[in-house]
Amino acid sequence: MGRGFIVEDAVEGYLSQLCEQQAGPVTGLLIGQSSAQRDFVVLATRTPQRDESTGSSVDKEWVTEHARQVSRMLPGGLSVLGVFIITDADAKDTLTTLRQLVFAVENLISSERLWIPAEDDVTDCVTLHINPKTRKTVCRTFDVKDPKSMAKPADWKYQCGVCSSWPTVSCCLNVDMLVPLPASTESMNECLKEGLKVWTRQIENAVCLIDGKKLPEDSELTSGQRRNVRQTYTAQLLVTPDFQRVSDVVQQCGGSVCVRGAVHSRAYLHSNKPKGKLAEKLLKRDVISTVATRVQMLLEELLTADQESKGSSKQHTDQLCLPRRVFCPVKVNGSVCVSDYQFSDEGLSEVSDRLKEMLDIDAADGDLDASQETATEITESDAVEAEHPVETVDAPEPKKNNYLGVAMATAAALLATAASMLYLSDA
């Protein structure tokens, strides 16, 4: 027997609209949450139009890049479950295309994950074929961890209010992470990723308290609560630093990246008797993902920026703001939200534009919740701290034409409740 998918009825309306509008194959992503018994689909979003038309063929790279961007915008408990295609071609003829898409999407998204998959993680991803004329839908799943996986039939049912009573677990976590950087900036991205992995292990091993209590793994989170009433919980993560201090390690390096401050994190849990163990797992994964995403976004910004300090060997400090997290409900007055990241030089309208482009959500500025993380102002004390960076071992001068020049020698990122500051300073 195949897997069962319980789908928000708003998804049916959205897909019907695409059937009426489509002039050629339309692809997109299916978003929701998996569980051992069944899967829940709460959102569908079409692949954005590309400037260069590919005609009637499906652009696999474009679809997978869209999935990567969308995955960054999903809080704990929401993930890309699979892909859909709307075409009048026969379902059997699109099977190979859908199979290639769903494997490519999962491979790219999983390549950015820092957390270790759990044994009970669901590895079946869904593909949906819709004929725009007959509206017939064919739902299948593939086990993306098995390269030889064959298509399995799955049950696709629409239902009202699928996620209306999902419990929400949130926390504010103080982050204090130091990552040594190499003298040669060519491998800086890999070193930063490895440093984030060390911090990730600390988060995964942290003790999680929900409403001040350590819940047994198999206890129901909503035990004793009224059904169909949305519950909210506040969590704390008690992190134990590594026993080996940075000062105990002697290594040649060109500097370091220091991330300090606080991030707001949240996870949504399906309402089918969720366990405390699930709440802890999804919340920790969101903490890891939101910090890693912001660091990666900043690096991408720096790569495209014109660094005035490039090639300079003198002491130099830059102050750059990491983006803050902004939440937006999936539907009006809904409890489940997606999120985006707002840089300091952006307005909320630019966040709304990205939500429309990436998730096809029409959001007014008033729909956005930017209150969870407040913007950080640069103060004199910040500047003084930046002028006294973390001490590092002397290292050869980096090559003049490297990745970020010498501007990335020593960096301190301050996630102040949690809009962030990144200090870039020479070693």
List pLDDT tens digits, range 147-176. Answer: 999 999 999 999 999 998 899 999 999 888
pLDDT of residue 97: 94
pLDDT per residue over 129-149, tens digit each? 999 999 999 999 999 999 999
Query: What would you measure as the largest C-alpha separation in the chain, in angstroms?
Result: 70
Nearest CA among 49, 36, 48, 45 for reference residue 8: 45
Q: 3-state DSSP call for residue 252?
A: coil
190 CB-near residues (< 8 Å, 6+ apart):
none
Four-residue CA torsion sign, 9, 13, 19, 22: negative
Judged against a pLDDT cut of 80, whether residue 309 lies above it is answered with: no
How does residue 401 score in pLDDT terms, banded at 50, 70 and 90?
Answer: very low
- Specify the pTM: 0.84
Higher confidence at residue 390 or residue 48?
Answer: 48
Judged against a pLDDT cut of 60, whether residue 395 lies above it is answered with: no
Higher confidence at residue 74 or residue 185?
Answer: 74
Q: With DSSP H G I counted as helix, E B as strand and the rest as coil, what are the percentages for the chain, rounded to 5?
A: 30, 30, 40
Backbone angles phi, psi at 247, to 5 degrees: -70, -15
pLDDT of residue 422: 42
pLDDT of residue 123: 94
- Structure tokens that stand for 72 in this block: 């960054």
Whether the CB-CB separation of 179 and 191 falls below 8 Å is answered with yes
pLDDT of residue 391: 29
Helix (H) or strand (E) holding 43: strand 39-46
pLDDT of residue 251: 60
The size of the chain, in residues, is 427
Distance of CA 73 to CAs 39, 251, 332, Å? Answer: 20, 36, 18
pLDDT of residue 329: 94
Range list of β-strands (E), 131-220: 137-143, 152-153, 155-159, 168-181, 207-210
pLDDT of residue 406: 29
Whether the CB-CB separation of 248 and 402 falls below 8 Å is answered with no
Could you give all domains of the chain from N- to C-terminal order, each with its CATH number?
4-159 (3.40.140.10), 168-425 (no CATH)
Mean pLDDT within 225-247 = 73
Q: Are strands 168-181 and 232-238 parallel, antiparallel or unpaired?
A: parallel
pLDDT of residue 351: 96
How does residue 24 score in pLDDT terms, banded at 50, 70 and 90?
Answer: confident
Provide the mean pLDDT of the chain.
80
Looking at the chain, the whole-number percentage of residues with pLDDT higher than 70 is 75
Nearest-angstrom CA–CA distance, 426 and 407: 6
Nearest-angstrom CA–CA distance, 237 and 207: 6
pLDDT per residue over 331-365, tens digit each? 866 789 999 999 888 899 999 999 999 999 999 98
Judged against a pLDDT cut of 60, whether residue 320 lies above it is answered with: no
**Residue 399: how many CA atoms within 13 Å on its side-chain side?**
9
* Lowest mean pLDDT segment, chosen from 80-84, 179-183, 273-277, 419-423: 419-423
Q: What is the CA radius of gyration of the chain?
A: 23
pLDDT per residue over 36-59, tens digit each? 889 999 999 999 988 766 656 788
Whether the CB-CB separation of 419 and 320 falls below 8 Å is answered with no
pLDDT of residue 400: 30
Range list of β-strands (E), 195-244: 207-210, 232-238
Mean pLDDT within 394-421 = 35
Judged against a pLDDT cut of 60, whether residue 393 lies above it is answered with: no
* Lowest mean pLDDT segment, chosen from 45-54, 83-92, 310-319, 417-426: 417-426
- Structure tokens that stand for 324 in this block: 């803050």
